[in-house]
Amino acid sequence: EGCRGLPRAADMAASGAESLCGQALLGAVPGAPRCPHGPALLFVKTSQGREEGRRFYACSACRDRKDCNFFQWEDEKVSETRLAAREEYNRNHQPSFTHRQNVERYKNFVQLPLSKRRFCQECQQLLLPAEWEKHSDHQFLCDISTSQLKSPSQLLCPLENKKTNAQYLFTDRSCQFLLDLIIDLGFRRVLSVGTPRLHEMIQSNASQEEDFRVRSLLLDIDFRYSQFYTEDEFCHYNMFNHYFFGGEAAHETCRKFLHQDNGERVIIVTDPPFGGLVEALASSFKKLMAMWKDTEEEGPNNQEMPMFWIFPYFFESRILEFFPSFSMMDYQVDYDNHALYKHGKTGRRQSPVRIFTNLTPRMIALPAEEGYRFCTICQRYVSSGNQHCEICNSCTSKDGRRWKHCVLCKKCVKPSWFHCNVCNCCALQTHTCEKADAGCFVCGKAGHKRSACPSLS
């Protein structure tokens, strides 16, 4: 449900700069230059034979330079003229209306009769009658109902550019499961980071049911949602650099929401774009957790803010690297507008998206009607195909299929893998044997491959 990924090396070579063989994220630094998406992130070039190269800043939010071409070497001296031009460019690439203006526009819009409620599909904007003429040659929807206004994720066109937005939306099944789970676990407030459909479902239930006590604050980089939510319900936020576009006021809104009031428990639920760098996301999530910890009236404690991080299972090792207390649930999260990430498919066609959480695994009850069962040995719910391995003493499957144990590798592997004596590990029968001593492509050193290069960490 999130919106944007991060730059790739091939996308970030500046004009006249040598081609980049690789990159490593150094993170957010004080005083970093800014692009329309907030403070840029600091990266370092890595080339074959060298562990570290020249450092540079690049946009935190866009992987493709066509979407944001910001690039600056860290040691580059930028002239006053260029700085002024950059500030002007950043101003010109901000939304046409402020959040407060959009709130006022919404109040006027809902007072219009149904016949005068129009939505411009090209500009993705609610239109007031005085603006019709300006959009006369655009395609628009008429007779926008109250139910449509309460379901903006269905009214707005999903941003599906895989290089930039990757905005996929939960199915009702996954969304309802998450909400039911949140309620059953006793949480009454949800910080929805890049999960507009979950936020929408919570808002809808709250408006329809008097005894519904769950509240939500949506943090999202998609500013279009400011047309439908107040400043206490939505903050324009970049999860890759922990940047609140609304400044201190928006930051304070988030801080107040995280403050535990009357014993109400709060949880972060986030569904970032899968193209984003895990270390950048982890850094932002830790800062949100720190905000929550600072609001604790009882003083500092070792408790970690509860969180659901929704991400593909093959990122497990990267997430655990930054959050060792997390564990991965077997529940398959699926999406309305994604061709592959669907529930109920078989084999490799199943959704690879899972829930990572720092809550005790046995507390996360998964639906038995969908084939999940409780493993008394692992003390967690697992999928029907995830059989307990007595040698590993764990339910080892990650993708829903039954995995098999390899005695030589001393671990369970995918059912389609076989042990290769050349590579000394399990792989597909059709794989090409590679020797790690040929030298890493990133740093040039022997003993590991590119995927395991320390420079990429």
**Joined tokens for residue 250:** 């928006």
pLDDT digits (tens, 9 = 90+) for 72-121: 999 899 999 999 999 999 999 999 899 999 999 999 999 999 999 999 99
The ranges assigned to domains in the chain are 20-93, 99-144, 172-384
pLDDT digits (tens, 9 = 90+) for 147-198: 999 999 989 987 754 444 456 788 889 999 999 999 999 999 999 999 999 9
Residue 13 pLDDT: 28
Q: What number of helices (H) and strands (E) belong to the chain?
A: 9, 25
Cα separation of the two ends of the chain: 26
How high is the mean pLDDT of the chain?
84
**Position with higher pLDDT, 223 vs 430:** 223
Q: Which of 10-19, 356-365, 369-378, 401-410 has the lowest mean pLDDT?
A: 10-19
Distance CA 231, CA 149 (A): 17
Q: What is the mean pLDDT of residues 249-272?
A: 90
pLDDT band with cut points at 50, 70 and 90 for residue 207: confident
Asked if pLDDT for residue 287 goes beyond 60, the answer is yes
16-47 exposure pattern, b = at least 16 Cβ within 10 A, e = fewer: eeeebbbbbbbebeeebbbbbbbbbbbbbbbb
Residue 52 pLDDT: 66
DSSP for residue 423: T
Distance CA 409, CA 392 (A): 11
pLDDT band with cut points at 50, 70 and 90 for residue 291: very high
Asked if pLDDT for residue 385 goes beyond 90, the answer is no
What DSSP letter does each residue of 160-221 carry, written as one string?
Answer: --TTTT----B-HHHHHHHHHHHHHTTEEEEEEES-HHHHHHHHHHHHH-TT---EEEEEES
Asked if pLDDT for residue 360 goes beyond 50, the answer is yes
Tell which phi-psi region holds residue 144, choosing left (phi > 0), alpha (psi between -120 and 50) or beta.
Answer: beta
DSSP for residue 42: E
**Position with higher pLDDT, 222 vs 24:** 222
Nearest to 278 by CA among 311, 327, 237: 311
pLDDT digits (tens, 9 = 90+) for 392-446: 999 998 888 889 999 989 999 999 999 998 888 999 988 888 654 455 554 555 5
Residue 446 phi/psi, 5-degree rounding, is: -90, 165
Which residues make beta-bridge pairs with 427? 418
Residue type, 290: A
pLDDT digits (tens, 9 = 90+) for 292-340: 988 765 545 668 999 999 999 999 999 999 999 999 999 999 887 655 5
Q: Which fold has domain 172-384?
A: Rossmann fold (3.40.50)
Helix H or strand E segment including 319: helix 316-322
